[in-house]
Structure formats: structure tokens, C-alpha cells
Structure 1
Amino acid sequence: MTRPTSPTRSPQRLDDAVTGGIGDSPSRPDSTLKVTGEYAYSSDLWAEDMLWGSTLRSPHPYARIRSVDVSEALKQPGVHAVLTHQDVPGENVYGLKVSDTPVLAVDVVRHQGEPVALVAADHPETARRALAKIVVAYEVLEPVTDPERAAHDDTLPELHPGGNIVRYQPVVQGDPEAEAEVVVSDVYTMGMQDQAFLGPESGLAIPGEDGGVDLFLATQWLHVDQKQTARALGLPLDKVRFTMSGVGGAFGGREDLSMQIHCCMLALHTGKPVKMVYNRLESFYGHVHRHPAKMYYEHGATKDGKLVYVKARMYFDGGAYASKTPVVVSNATSLGTGPYVVPNVRIEGWGVYTNNPPCGAMRGLGAVQPAFAYELQMDKLAGALGMDPVRLRQINAVREGASLHTGQVLDSPAPVAELLERLARMPLPPEDTTTPRDVRTLPGGLSNTSHGEGVVRGVGYSVIIKNVSYAEGVDDYSTARVRLEVIGGAPVALVHTAAAEVGQGLITVHQQIARSELGVERVTIHPADTQVGDAGSSSASRQTYITGGAVRDACAAVRQAVFDRVARRFGEDSAGLTLTGGKVVSATGAVLDLVEVLGEEAIEETREYHHLRTYKMDPVTGQSRRVHVQHAYAAHRAVVEVDTGLGLVKVVQLDCAQDVGKAVNPDAVVGQIQGGSTQGLGLAVMEEIKVREGKIRNPSFTDYLIPTILDTPPMRIDVLERADPHSPYGVRGVGEPPTISATPAVVNAIRDATGLNLTHTPVSPEQLCGS
């Protein structure tokens, strides 16, 4: 493991007298509670005299609702309310990008698991028994399940007004009909992946005396949830108050609404607190998943390996409702050639409606699918050229100042070739030549399936590009309120934002920033809620950048207010003052205790931080002067062993080199890379929601597999710090890039081991055994 070196520090702001600041790795304040099981997640919430809410869901992917009879459910003892779409007090529709999702189904259901009715009862089992007594008469229809056909076949039913295409985006650069000496092509497919967070959807709604409602929940974006919920409830924003509770993982699956409106409806209808907690089965139906994709790719190159053109057609299955499908298409097409210079490009991307499960945000949104395809293509091209796959990538790698195929010029370091070089220099793990081999080291070894016969080793590389933060003209900003006051005889900073801590360690980062900027040890984080300005979503690897920028700016304003107070009261020149170790120090060396300066009069400042402006992609050419505000880069090398007889895979090692711009918390950075890499490994070899005719066939962790510690290999992590001059402290997003690059590295390694032209992920034993 290589730690970040030579951190960039500003003597005026970053103070060596205060520990736990920028560049340090302080302990997370929630860590002890989490590892001891004492941490309170949203599913642990409780209120006196509360009811339990539950949801009736459609068993059909596509059907007309002929009638709904709730009379028997209402007779069930202990039932306080049974609600249908007729009981939605405001607008019966919501959506992140397109308002197309009913709060409760009206006359048609478009996917299996769509909510039809709600029950509130005095016990969760009572609520479930009442659900079973609701009688819904359905006219079952033939579902639309093929996304490519949905994009082009006008004979299919229109699932929404305007047709089945959510977004079509082409990108054209140079000569789209260019020819090349060496050409490789193939069709790549990616299955539907689940976020598989450990804590299912949950929340507690409490009706307010003012006719409003307070909801305590696990989410990724408080303010957008608040806005959508308020509209459905027919209430003004100030009467819908949301507060973050403990989140048991997110990865994009909590960006869309699940129980938010339902829980609040039941609370307002009954006048009692209502708690909703999904079980694992319902969670699979209740949140969006990663978009499955089908991608046609063709690469052309000269005989010496220079890329001449890339042509691609990509189809993304958005399922029944739009969610983040427009963004997936944008990211996929704008990043679809990878971190390479390609003079001639024609890419087309379609995001479509089907009757498959709804798909939306998941870690690496829209960048994961094309990266799988273009990185397998690069290995295939290297084979056709007889060239080392690392060298081929380095020859074509982008650098600072290069133009992407959208016309955007990279205005910060892009050390793609260096990342690959660092990976290639890492020693490979030695092969086990002992006879017989320890079965625990073999594919499927803990099941004693093999003793080494038919086991082959392979090595695979990948390198990817990932956008950070919102794009295409969205005003990406965050708000922070910082208060500095004396408590218990010591200066204490209070940081208040609406940014969602979803396990990534954001609260620790905010403490580090405040310590560094204000020179105080004690920093308290206010619970995130909607009583402060919007912080945007904890997604797109943006929070350290955007909300970190807001906290930094609010701290700077507080610091300046301290200096102004000193100047007024003590006659010092505010321009020559610094904060250090709870002291105010003048240019002449005079020292004032911060406690004395503050007295009983606290200082509080609120600031918004906005990043550089971005611009929409041209709807015809896809060109834009700046689609994305920032790009991140990660590279992986995977070493695998494959049992060719049984089709079992063991990832022996999964090494990563990544540019993080600035490691605010080095230990957390390494942890994020390890976690992201493991998630990408899961997509490579095991994670897929199986959908047949619109129905999920494996909605449980018994049949939907995720990596455990036994599947997680050793990882060497090489962290680069090539600062982005446009971001606070030079930071880049960290969590998503390794998720993206791990998958193709593992699959390329399996292809190297077996010689098979694998084109689908996850790779299954059936693919490896030819059945």
C-alpha cells in the first residue's frame, strides 16, 4: 500500500498545531458505535403509540387495474388506515428527472412490485395480514422487455405518453465514416446489478401540530426528497421537514423515493407516528437498480496502435420509469471512448422505458457500462495488433490539455499513462507450485471442489475515466452553516449541512476542514436536515468537493469575522492575523486566546459553494465546451485463477492505482478504493438480478450473490495526488472510479486465462464451461 505523499498545505489556513485536519486520518466519530452494534440506523427509530406501515405491490410487470377492494382490509382489527391513489392529497406523481412515477398506481401497473395500496396498523404482522385482504382485479398485459426493440419498434405499446425513448443522444466528432488498418468489434452486455446496501429502506413519520410532518429517514438527498414529497402531500415546503437518520449504505439506491411519501401519507391520515421498514424481498422491488446495457462497439487503429475511430451504439434499459436514465445516457455517451484520444467518433445512446424493474442511480452512474465494453475492446485490439495491452493504452492515453470526443478540453492533470506504469511495475503474486495445493487457495477451494487440476491463471488490466459532480448545465452547489462559540471554556465549531453521510466518512471530512480552517480541535457535526440549505445528493463522488467547498468557505467567513472582531476590539491589523491552536496570532507575534475573543458572542456564517459552469451536450452532435466539471481516473490489474472444468473463478489479487487529487483523509481514501474495487469485482463474477419476462427471479441475498471477505483478494493501492486547481484543496472524487475499473480488469484477466471471448458481465460458470 502506497500512501499519498507531499501534501499541499497552505500555511495561512492549514495548521500543524491542530491534529485531525486536512491530510490526517482521524478516527471516524461513528466508528465505535457501528462496530459494536450500538449505532442507531433509521430502522431502529421508535415513537410512542406509533403505527406500522406496509405496501401492497403489483405481482405483474404490466397490467390494467380494473378494481381495488379494500373493505375487508379495513375490517381487520388493529388496522387504522388503508389508502389508494384516491387518498393522495396532492399530485400523484414524482420523479428525479421526469415526473412520471405514480405515488400509488391508478389504472395501470408498469412493473412488478409497483405500489398499489398502503396500510397502517398497530403491528407489522397485522399490516401484512391486512394487505392480503385487499382484492385487486388485474387485466394482465404482455410486457415490453427488450430495450433495443423498445427503442426502434413502433408496434410496441407506448408505456408513457411520447413513446418509449427517455433520451437519445448521439456524439459525433471528426469523420464518422473513417477507416482503419486494424478493426475489432463485438457486442457487450451487462446484467442488472443491485446496490445491495445492508440497511433496507426505512423511516419514521411524525405528524406535526402545524398540520405538517417530520420524517426521519435514510436517504441520499434530503431536499429533493422533501420537494417531491411536499408536492405529493399538497403541503408547502416548510411543513415537510426531513432529518437524516443512520444510513446502512446507499450506492445510488436511495436517490429515488421509496417509502417517503407513503409513510408521511399514513402519518397525516391517522394523526399518529408511522414507521415503515422494508424487508429484503421488498427492498429488491422498492428501489432502482443499475441499468442493464447492450453495447455494439467497433474500434479502428493503425498498425502501430494509434486509435483512428470508435463507433458505438448503446442501449440502456431504464425499466418502468425514467429516474436517472437521462443522466445515464449522458454519462455513457460523453465518456464512451474511455480515457483515450480518438480523432473520429460516432456514438449513439438510447435510454428506454420497458416493463422491467425500474433502474436509476448506482455507483459509477452511466460510466460503468461503456467502460466494460471499451476496456474489453482495448484488450481485443491489443491481441489483433500483437501488442502489450498496457502499452496500447499508454500510446492512446489522454493527458492534460487533450480534447475529449465531446470537444471538452481537459483542464487538470490526467495521469492515465502514469497510473498504468505504476500498476505494471507492481510485482505479480507468485504462483503456487506446491503439490498438492492448499485447497483454500483454489477457485471454490473452501468447498473442496478441486486440487489444482484444470486451474489456469490470467492477468488483466483496465483504466477508466469518470465524471465527478453534476453535469450538462446543472447548477451544482452546496450550502454550509458554521458556528464558532465557547462551550465548556473551549472554542467549539458547529458545522451544519444537509449532506447525507451514507457511510463514506463525510462527517469526518467536515470536521477535518473545520479544524484546519479555524484552528480549533473540537468540531461538532449538526444532524443533516432540511433546516439548512440544499447540499445536493451524496452521489457522483461530489460531496467532499462541493459540500467540502461550502464548509471551507463558511469557515473562512467565520475566521474573517474573528479577525474583524480582533481588529475592532484590540486594534490589530486583521490582514496580519492567523488562527492557530485556539489562539489568534498577529503578524507581530502577539497572541490572543480565542475564548477571550469570542466571549459569549458566537460567530455564525452560511455560504454556498458552486463549481464551474457546465453546458448541455448538443442534441445532434453531442459537442459541449464543458460537459463535466471534473474527471477522475483509476486503473486496475487483476490476477485470477479459473477452474476450467467447473467454471469457478478466484481473484488472486486486485491492485489499483488512482489519482485522488488530494487525499483529505488518506486512510479513508484507501478504504474507499478497496470498497469500490470489491463492488466492481462483484459485478465481474457474481452480481446479477435475473429478470425473466419482467419478473425478478432472485430477490434475496440467498440467490443474489455479493462478495464476502472470502471473495475479496489482497489489494495494493497506489494513491496519486495530482491536484485539480479548480476544486477545494485540489480534491477529486474517490469512491466511484475503482468500482468502474475493477470489473473489466477482472473479466480481461479471465479472458487471458481461458482464451474465451467473454462479452457479458457477470461471468458465469456456464460461460466458462460452454453450456
Structure 2
Amino acid sequence: MTRAIGAPSVSTVVEGGVGQSPRRPDGRLKVTGEFAFSSDLWADDMLWGATLRSPYPRARLRGLDLSAALALPGVHAVLTADDVPGAKCYGLDVADQPVLAWEEVRYQGEAIAIVAADHPETARRAVARIVVDYEVLDPVADPEAALAAGQLVRHVPVRRGDPAATAEVVVTGEYRVGMQDQAFLGPESGLAVPAEDGGVDLYIATQWLHVDQAQVAAALGLAPDLVRLSLAGVGGAFGAREDLSMQVHASMLALRTRRPVKMVYSREESFFGHVHRHPATLRYEHGATRDGRLVYVRARILLDGGAYTSSTPAVVANAATLGIGPYQVPNVTMDAYGVWTNNPPCGAMRGFGAVQACFAYESQMDALAAACGLDPVELRTRNALAEGATMPTGQLVDGPAPVARLLALVRDRPAAPPAAADPRERPGGVANTTRGEGVVRGVGYAIGIKNVCFSEGFDDYATARVRLELINGEPAVLVHTAAAEVGQGLVTVQAQIARTELGVARVTVATADTSVGSAGSSSASRQTYMTGGAVRAACQAVRAKLLARAADRAAGAEVRLFDGRIVTEAGVVVADLADLVGDEPLEETVQWRHRPTHPLDPRTGQGDAHVQYAFAAHRATVDVDTELGLVRVVEIATAQDVGRAVNPQAVLGQIHGGTIQGLGLAVMEEIQVVDGLIRNPSFTDYLIPTILDSPPMPVDVLELADPHSPYGLRGVGEPPTISSTPAVVAAIRAATNRPLRTIPIRPHHIVYG
């Protein structure tokens, strides 16, 4: 039956669709502490796993005595490298990290043996009983020495223009960035359950289910379909969960004992059990005309990759290709290197190579502004990248690049309020031993650039399965992907897209697992772009099927979906959605890709390596007690182009969170490594910002649609981490007149330089 309707009187956008901020389905549970994280998993007859780790950064393994551990009541298995049934090594791109070390350990904390016992304390006691005969060797802890010795992971050169270009004004500087930890809420944990078919079901907190599956299956010597992974509750990630931790170990123990095995790292073990941000040494030379126009940049970046490859090759490429910043420079000579050392392994962390480079090039821009007698924002604006410009790699910037506009937004914001008389609002708070006589205010600016999605020709795709059906007579949508919800709100976004595309309010997002095709990693600010694009495409395919069903009833008229009904262009209702779906659900699985990228030329670094660029600017205001070296960040203002705010509230959350992570790197966060040994593997000694360190963070959000992406959106999560660090440092420089070329900044840097 058809019936006529008048002009549309109800919005076609279902409540909770794209552009709105619906309540997160996991929000209340997380706030109340009821959310089940991977460390909360439980199974009947479960055993507990524990890991023996090397106390040395480099040593030869001359022997292992397991007898005392095996004799301990309650111990069910003690396994070493000899017990690995398949590939002995794993890795994201290069399989060079042992599942369990043999012959030699290459970093402090490397896994040597694993134990399964009926109680976690028993497992730990068994680990302590294992006797290892070490021949301690001198570690290679200096990246420069490693480079000289040929321990090169990757070298990425970028060459553009005249390498011998000269300029009227030249500034040089050497900068150092410390090793930062991702410091996520939930340590590594998971549960492996042996299956009747000889395989294993692994419930795990990770960022990339399918890459885990491939590595675990290879190590176990099993076909991938016998290793089934389901995403457990993830307590943050920030890059550290891209690499394996306990996945293979728990699975090996489960298969050996034929019982479920749970592994949960302590916080101290977590510091040893995952990769960290690459420490870096960066040398820059900027040349400009007297009026501040950039003529050339020459740079050398050295990244310490630690003991194994992990994602160092990609981090080096990002540092090289983004290492000039969001500026137009006619002549570029860039060399970025990553090396192996016996320091802790380093890999992905929010910002992924761009963080280290941004600290250096933004510090250089401040130095250049001073040398030219220009305002720091004015200098940046004169050299700002814009749509239609060419990157140092030769890639055309073919989407919005509002660098100058973002800088203007943070510059023109009202100034932060003056310092309060309350001593709690001063650097050091009530514990400050001065009366504030030495407190000086400083303001600093920075802007950064970041790529979005994977690069250099990587086959980057995401898969989504969408099912439209009736449940109790009501249309409902089930969305199923393998995309990892790591706290960024991806589950919410998937539901928003389904509501928008299918006009159905009731949407369920299934638990992510490997029974559906890969969605890639929750990294590179890519999931809303990639899995969002896949969900959108799958919904559109379902909608096309729905409209095809309706075509027979429309007597040849064009039809469309409108407010839960199929209508003609003339406004005649052809069918209600529920009637059309009936007893025949519609389902589509789509594998979706972005536009292609290409490898860099290995000699010149030229090539269209990236999918999309994202930009954020910051203005930091700080109060510095110059006598005690104490800093209080008063305010950090941000401006960022997000293309399209799919979920405005989540966008603000990402910007605030990223900004605070950058603040932490600027003034407090560093893993102290001396001769390969971690000196501060706890949150007592490794400091991260708390709510008390978090200043007001006003945000200007631009929505300049990218013509190449779903809904015009742009990746959001990483850019605020990149430019917040140099902005805070610039503000401290302004207050102290110190060069401050090492981060994090310590009190002695402020007091003594």
C-alpha cells in the first residue's frame, strides 16, 4: 500500500547519527568501575602464567636449570625457547624478536622462560626458582655508536632543491627527546583457552587483532583459522599494543597444559613488556632571508630503536617526511636514521616520529624568529603550508591545510587569566619555598603536521559486515568489524555511521574478533577514516539492496530511504522499512580502501607516501619559578582542523587527551635508561600528568572537509600530542631565556641552563 506525504517535516538524521555526540555505550561502566577489562577475565580451571625476564641488557645464555621450578607444588609447565612449536621469532614487519630468548638476551626484561601454575603467587615463585647461567656482555647503549657500528634499521633521505643553498640568516641547534612511555591504564593481560580442534581461543587487549593472529599462529605452528582472537576490554593503548606481549606465551602454556591460562603483567613488568617512544637526537640548520622567508633546511635525525625492529622503519619514515614541519621550503636535505641498540625496544606511540621532529623544527622556528626580529607567529605564517603546496617529498597537498588560520586562532584567543594570589595556583603549589618573587610568565606557540593512515604503499584496508534485520518487529542493525576499541570511542562512531546511512536507531556493534576480515590497527589516527569508511560502504551496499527490493513496488519511480520509509521523489511512501525487510535480513561485507599511496624513492625520499595530512596549533601559557626551576602550565589553547567532527564531544576528548600527553613529554615524562637499564619502572618514579597538572584547554575546531575521505573527516587523535610539547617548551623559554633543547625539561635546565 502506498500513501502520499507532504513536505518533509522530520529530520532525515536519526538521533545519534554523524555530527552528534550520543552517549558512549561503555561510558557508564567505565566511570563506575564496572567495565570488564582484559585483566578481569576468568575461566573455570584456569591457570596463571608468569614470565622470567633478563636482568641484563645484554648477556649470553650459557644454561638454564628448571628443576627447582618444576618441583614446586602447583606448577604445571615451565617452557623455554626449545618448546616454541613454530617460528622462534615474531615482529610487525621483520620477525627478529624471539618468542623466548636463546643464546643471547638483547635488552633488560627480555623473556627467557614462562611458567603456568594454579595460583599467580606460585607462578611468580616458580619463576624466581629458575637458575640462569649468564655471561654478561657490554651493551651497546649509545645510538651514535650503534650507527657507527652498522647497526642500522633504516635510513630515509629526503632531497629537494639545491643542497648547497645559502641564506642571509642561519640558525642551528641540536635537540634531544627522551624515551616516553605510553602509560596506559591497563597493563598487558589476556586469557588463552585451548580448543577441542587443537587450536586456541585468545581473549586479548590489543590494537590489531589480525596481525596478532598471524604472529601467534606462526609461533604456535598452527593454521591461522585455529588461532581465534577476540578483543577483551582495553585500558588504553597509544601504540604500545601494536606489538605482541603475552599473546604467544599464554597460548603456548594453554596448549601445553590443556587448561585456560591467564597472564597479567604488573605495572613494573609492563614497563619492560612493551615498546616505548623512540628517544631521538636531532640536528637542524635553518636558513632564511632577513624578512623570514625560509630558504633551506638541513636536518639529521637519529632514533634509538632499541633491541628489535618493531615499527622503527615506519617511524623513521614519518620523522623524515614530516620533519620539516607544515612549512614551504624550497631546499631540503634531510637524513633520518633508526638503529638497533641494547636499550628497551621502541615502536609505535601517539605521534609516531612526528613528535620528536616537531620539537626540533618548532624550536628552530622560534630561534629563527628571534634572529630575524619577527614575532614567532608571524614567521610561521609567512612560511605556512597551504592547499596546493608541495611537500619536501614532492607530494601535493590536495586538501585543506589551514596552517596560517590555525596559528591566528590560537594567537587571537583572549590571554590566560593573570596569576592567582592563592599559593596553590603557583609553581610548586603550597610546597614552594619562595613567595613567588621569581615567578615569570611565558607564552609560546607551536604547530605540527601528521599523516593519517598507513603510508608508503602499504595495503591499508578495513572490513565491515553490516546486517539489517527485524528484532521483535523493529528494524535493527548489527555492525561487525575487527577494529579495536581502545578507548577512543570507535564503537560509538560505528553505530553513528550505521544510523546515518540506514536511518535505523537501533544499532548493535558486535565484539571485535577475527571471524570477520581485518580492520587494520587502531593507530595512525586511522580507524574512523578506515573502519568508518568500511561501515559506511557496507551500509550503503545494504541500502542499495533495500532499494532494489522496493523498486518492484515503485512502478518504475526513483526511490530513496527517508525516516524509516521508502519514498519516491514525489514523496509517495512505497513501503515502511520494517515491511520491506520482513523475514529476509539483508547483509553485506565490504573491504574498503583509501586512495593508494606509494613507496618513497630510496635515494631522494620523493613519492606520494601519505594519504592525508592533519594539522593542530597550540598556544601555551606557563608560570615558571626561575629560582626553583618549577613550572605550572596555566593554559593550553588549541586549534585543529578535523575535517568533519563525526562525534564532536569525542573530538574534544581526543584533543584534550593528546594535549596532556604532549605536556607530559615537555615537563615530566621520561624512562630513565642508563647503560641499557631502566631506572624508573613505576609510576612512583615515572611521572605522568594528573588532573591537578591539567590546565584549562580551550579549543577551536575547524571542519574543513577533506574531499577524499568519508564525510570529509580528518584523523584527530595524534596532532594535538605533536605540537603541544614544543608550545609548552617555547613558553618556558620565553619565561627563562634559556635555550632548553632537551625534553623533558628538568628544574636544573631552568635554573642552570
Match of 1:383 among 345, 367, 370: 370
> Cα deviations across residues 638-663 of structure 1 (Å, max 9, x unaligned)?
00010111111000000000000000
Equivalent position of 1:159 in the other structure: none
Identify the residue that residue 157 of structure 1 maps to in structure 2.
none
Post-superposition shift, 1:582? 2.2
CA drift of 1:766 comes to: 1.4
Listed as ranges, the matches of 1:411-422 within 5 Å are 411-422=398-409
Q: Which residues in structure 2 correspond to 1:465-614 (within 5 Å)? A: 465-568=449-552, 570-573=553-556, 576-591=558-573, 592-614=575-597
- 1:149 shift after superposition: 1.9
Pairing partner for 2:639 from 652, 657, 674: 657
8 Å contact kept, 2:629–2:751: yes
Partner of 2:3: none
CA distance in 1: counterparts of 2:745 and 2:472, whole angstroms: 59
Give the letter for the 2:190 counterpart.
G
**Aligned-pair distance for 1:593?**
1.5
CA distance in 1, matches of 2:134, 2:121: 25
Q: Is the 8 A contact 1:242 1:530 kept in 2?
A: yes
Task: Give the aligned residue type for 1:723.
Answer: A
Q: Does 1:712 align with 2:694?
A: yes
Cα distance in 1 for residues equivalent to 2:430 and 2:192: 46
Could you give the per-residue CA deviations for residues 156-199 of structure 1, whole angstroms, max 9, x where no partner exists?
xxxxxxx5100011111101111100000010000000000010
Match of 1:63 among 44, 54, 59: 59
Q: Does 1:694 align with 2:669?
A: no
User: 8 Å contact 1:617–1:623 — kept in the other structure?
Assistant: yes
Q: Which residue of 2 aligns with 1:669?
A: 651
**Number of residue pairs aligned between Structure 1 and Structure 2:** 745
Partner of 2:192: 205
Q: What does residue 119 of structure 1 align with?
A: 115
Q: Is the 8 A contact 1:92 1:102 kept in 2?
A: yes
Q: Are the counterparts in 1 of residues 307 and 342 from structure 2 also a CA contact under 8 Å?
A: yes
Q: Corresponding residue for 1:78?
A: 74
Q: What is residue 274 of structure 2 aligned with on the other side?
A: 287
Task: Report the alpha carbon displacement of residue 589 of structure 1 after superposing the two structures with TM.
Answer: 2.1
8 A contact 1:521–1:581 mirrored in 2: no
1:671 maps to a residue whose letter is G
Q: Indicate conservation of the 8 Å contact 1:662/1:722, yes or no.
A: yes
Residues 305, 17 of structure 1: CA spacing in aligned structure 2 closer, same or farther, 3 A cutoff?
closer
Q: Which consecutive unaligned segments of at least 5 residues does structure 2 have?
A: 1-6
For 1:229 and 1:293, how far apart are their aligned partners in 2? 31
Letter in 2 for 1:488: N
Q: Distance in 2 between matches of 1:242 and 1:581?
A: 38
The aligned counterpart of 1:49 is: 45
In the alignment, is the contact (CA less than 8 A) between 2:51 and 2:115 conserved in 1?
yes
* Equivalent position SS for 2:654: helix
In the TM superposition, residue 15 of structure 1 has moved relative to its aligned partner by 5.7
- Superposed displacement of residue 43, structure 1: 0.4
Query: How far 1:16 sits from its partner (Å)?
Result: 3.3
TM-superposed CA distance for 1:590, in Å, is 2.6
State the 1:450 CA deviation: 3.5
Give, as a single letter, the amino acid of the residue that structure 2 aligns with 1:144. Answer: V
Corresponding residue of 1:735: 717
> How much does 1:46 deviate?
0.2
Aligned to 2:348: 361
Cα deviation per residue 1:14-53 (whole Å; 9 max; x = unaligned)?
9634111111111101101110111100000000000000
Do 1:442 and 1:451's aligned partners in 2 also have CA atoms closer than 8 Å?
no
Give CA-to-partner distance per residue, 1:488-514, whole Å, 9 cap, x none: 221000000000000000011001100
Q: CA offset at residue 446 of structure 1?
A: 4.0
Is 1:89 equivalent to 2:76 in the alignment?
no
Q: Distance in 2 between matches of 1:507 and 1:555?
A: 16
Asked if 1:144 is matched to 2:140, the reply is yes
- Supply the distance in 2 between the matched residues of 1:217 and 1:235 (Cα, whole angstroms): 18
Which whole-Å deviations, capped at 9, do the CAs of 1:285-321 have from their partners, x for residues lacking one? Answer: 0000000000010000000100000000110000000
* CA deviation vs aligned residue, 1:132-172 (integer Å, no higher than 9, x gap): 110000000000011122112x3xxxxxxxx5100011111
Distance 2:434 2:651 in 1: 37
Matched, 1:648 2:630: yes
Q: 1:39 corresponds to which residue? A: 35
Secondary structure in 2 matching 1:579: strand
* Contact in 1 for aligned 2:554/2:568 (Cα 8 Å): no
Distance in 2 separating the partners of 1:94 and 1:103: 7
Q: Which amino acid aligns with 2:602?
A: P
* Residues 17 and 580, structure 1, Cα contact 8 Å, conserved in 2: no
Task: Report the Cα distance in structure 1 between the residues aligned to 2:239 and 2:318, rounded to whole angstroms.
Answer: 15
Rounded Cα–Cα distance in structure 1 between residues aligned with 2:528 and 2:541: 19
Change (3 A) 1:200 1:181: same
The CA distance in 1 between the partners of 2:565 and 2:13, in whole Å, is 10
1:379-438, Cα deviation, whole Å (9 max, x unpaired):
000011110000000000010010011110101010000000111110111323x7xx21
1:248 partner letter? G
Note the C-alpha offset of 1:567. 1.7
CA contact (8 A) 1:485 1:603 kept: yes
User: What's the offset of the Cα at 1:578?
Assistant: 2.1
Aligned-partner Cα distance in 1 for 2:555–2:88 = 61
Deviation of 1:565 after TM superposition, in Å, equals 1.2
Q: Does 1:258 align with 2:242?
A: no
Residue 377 of structure 1 aligns to a residue whose secondary structure is helix
CA shift for structure 1 position 608: 1.1
Name the CA distance, whole Å, in 2 between partners of 1:337 and 1:304.
Answer: 19
Distance 1:232 1:590 in 2: 60
> Is the 8 Å Cα contact of residues 117 and 123 (structure 2) preserved in structure 1?
yes
Partner of 2:619: 637
Contact 1:637/1:656, CA 8 A, preserved across alignment: yes
Q: Verify the 8 A CA contact 1:18 1:580 in the aligned structure 2.
A: no
Deviations 1:314-365 (A, max 9, x none): 1000000010100011000001100000000101011000000000000000
SS of 1:662's equivalent in the other structure is coil
- Equivalent-residue separation in structure 1 for 2:324 and 2:569 (angstroms): 53
AA of the residue aligned to 1:305: G
Q: Provide the residue aligned with 1:99 in structure 2.
A: 95
Give the Cα separation in 2 of the matches to 1:604 and 1:449: 68
Alpha-carbon separation, structure 1, partners of 2:446 and 2:457: 30
Answer whether contact 2:551 2:559 (CA < 8 A) is retained: no
Query: In structure 1, what is the Cα distance between the partners aligned to 2:282 and 2:549?
Result: 62
Distance in 2 separating the partners of 1:730 and 1:652 = 34
Give the percent of matched residue pairs that are identical in Structure 1 and Structure 2. 65
SS at match of 2:484: coil
2:269 match: secondary structure: helix
SS at match of 2:453: strand
CA RMSD of aligned residues (A): 1.3
- Structure 2 counterpart of 1:622: 605
Which is further off, 189-198 or 600-609? Answer: 600-609
C-alpha distance in 2 between matches for 1:430 and 1:28: 34
CA contact (8 A) 1:520 1:580 kept: no
How many Å apart are 1:571 and its aligned residue?
A: 4.1
Q: CA deviation at 1:595?
A: 1.0
Shift of the alpha carbon at 1:448? 4.2
